[in-house]
């Protein structure tokens, strides 16, 4: 496991692919699903708070992301990641869980909930791609030419990733030095660079969220939507549209927070999740 991500403490073989996982604490299960361009390190400030609040926290790196295996042929799209998550829940022997998904992790969580609502107690989604909100023009060019980008000079790729990751936060000082390096480690290098474009960017496609307008109104779960007011990738207008389409959902917008709102406002975000889950589990 990478030394800069102590959250990961186990491996699970799912569909022939090694998935890096972490389980912490005890109590009610809470499953965390990260997004892109990220990995489970994005939860580093929240996990201790969740553990202290009495949650049995389960997290992992998506297939093709972070410390998980980079398969040569396996599908690592949003749709395929739902299958990996279902298998992980089975491995963890979780029959029903509170679920928190960020970015494409939120889209994965929603797609799981559409077809398997009995597995989800409450659902928190944060700054997710939805409807036609993605990819942005920059990411679309990378997606459409991902094989070419995989071969650009390493220094050019490094600069591009630094630029993108700094766009993900409102407080740019949060994404410097060691913090920035922890995100860059699985994205840069002889293996990591082409993997990033193959396993992540190649699947930035609204086909996985274009049916949200049809499916979301049918969802009958307790859902809260969290959003960074200064999100440069997913405008807050999409958060409001999600709230309109999801029956009885709640929306919380965090000022001075960007797309990686868990970096900009970790304690307020953790507190919001804890309060939401506790309120709905008292019913």
Residue 21 CA to residue 79 CA, distance in Å, equals: 20
What band does 262 get if pLDDT is binned at 50, 70 and 90? very high
Backbone angles phi, psi at 262, to 5 degrees: -70, -20
Q: pLDDT at residue 3 above 60?
A: no
Average pLDDT of the chain, as a whole number? 95
pLDDT value, residue 2: 42
pLDDT in tens, 114-137: 999 999 999 999 999 999 999 988
pLDDT value, residue 248: 86
CB 60 within 8 A of CB 23: no
Q: pLDDT at residue 232 above 70?
A: yes
pLDDT value, residue 74: 87
Collapsing DSSP to helix, strand or coil, 49 comes out as helix
Nearest to residue 46, comparing CAs of 255, 254, 264? 264
pTM: 0.96
Out of 18-22, 43-47, 135-139, least confident range: 135-139
pLDDT value, residue 253: 98
pLDDT value, residue 1: 37
Domains of the chain, CATH where assigned: 10-134+206-281 (3.40.50.1820)
**Percent of the chain beyond pLDDT 70?**
98
Residue 21 CA to residue 217 CA, distance in Å, equals: 33
Dihedral sign of CA atoms 115, 72, 68, 178 in order: negative
pLDDT value, residue 73: 87
pLDDT value, residue 244: 98
pLDDT value, residue 4: 58
pLDDT value, residue 260: 98
Residue 184 CA to residue 198 CA, distance in Å, equals: 16
What residues pair up with 20 in beta bridges, in sequence order? 11
Q: pLDDT at residue 258 above 50?
A: yes
Residue 247 CA to residue 216 CA, distance in Å, equals: 8
């Amino acid at each position: 496991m990478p030394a800069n991500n102590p959250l990961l403490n186990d491996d699970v073989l799912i569909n022939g692919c090694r998935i890096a996982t972490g389980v912490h604490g005890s109590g009610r299960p809470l499953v965390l699903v990260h997004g892109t361009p990220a990995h489970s390190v994005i939860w580093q400030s929240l996990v201790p708070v969740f553990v202290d609040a009495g949650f049995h926290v389960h997290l992992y790196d998506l297939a093709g992301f972070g410390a998980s295996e980079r398969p040569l042929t396996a599908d690592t799209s949003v749709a395929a990641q739902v299958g990996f998550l279902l298998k992980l829940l089975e491995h963890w022997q979780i029959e029903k869980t509170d679920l928190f998904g960020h970015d494409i992790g939120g889209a994965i969580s929603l797609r799981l909930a559409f077809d398997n609502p009995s597995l989800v107690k409450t659902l928190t989604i944060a700054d997710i791609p939805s409807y036609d909100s993605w990819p942005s023009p920059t990411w679309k060019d990378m997606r459409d030419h991902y094989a070419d980008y995989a071969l650009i000079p390493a220094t050019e790729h490094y600069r591009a990733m630094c630029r993108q990751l700094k766009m993900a936060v409102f407080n740019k000082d949060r994404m410097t030095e060691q913090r920035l390096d922890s995100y860059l480690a699985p994205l840069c290098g002889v293996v990591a660079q082409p993997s990033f474009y193959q396993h992540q960017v190649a699947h930035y496609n609204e086909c996985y969220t274009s049916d949200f307008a049809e499916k979301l109104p049918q969802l009958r779960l307790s859902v809260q939507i969290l959003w960074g007011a200064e999100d440069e990738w997913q405008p807050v207008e999409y958060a409001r549209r999600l709230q309109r389409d999801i029956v009885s959902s709640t929306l919380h917008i965090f000022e001075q927070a960007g797309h990686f709102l868990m970096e900009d406002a970790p304690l307020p975000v953790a507190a919001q999740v804890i309060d939401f889950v506790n309120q709905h589990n008292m019913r």
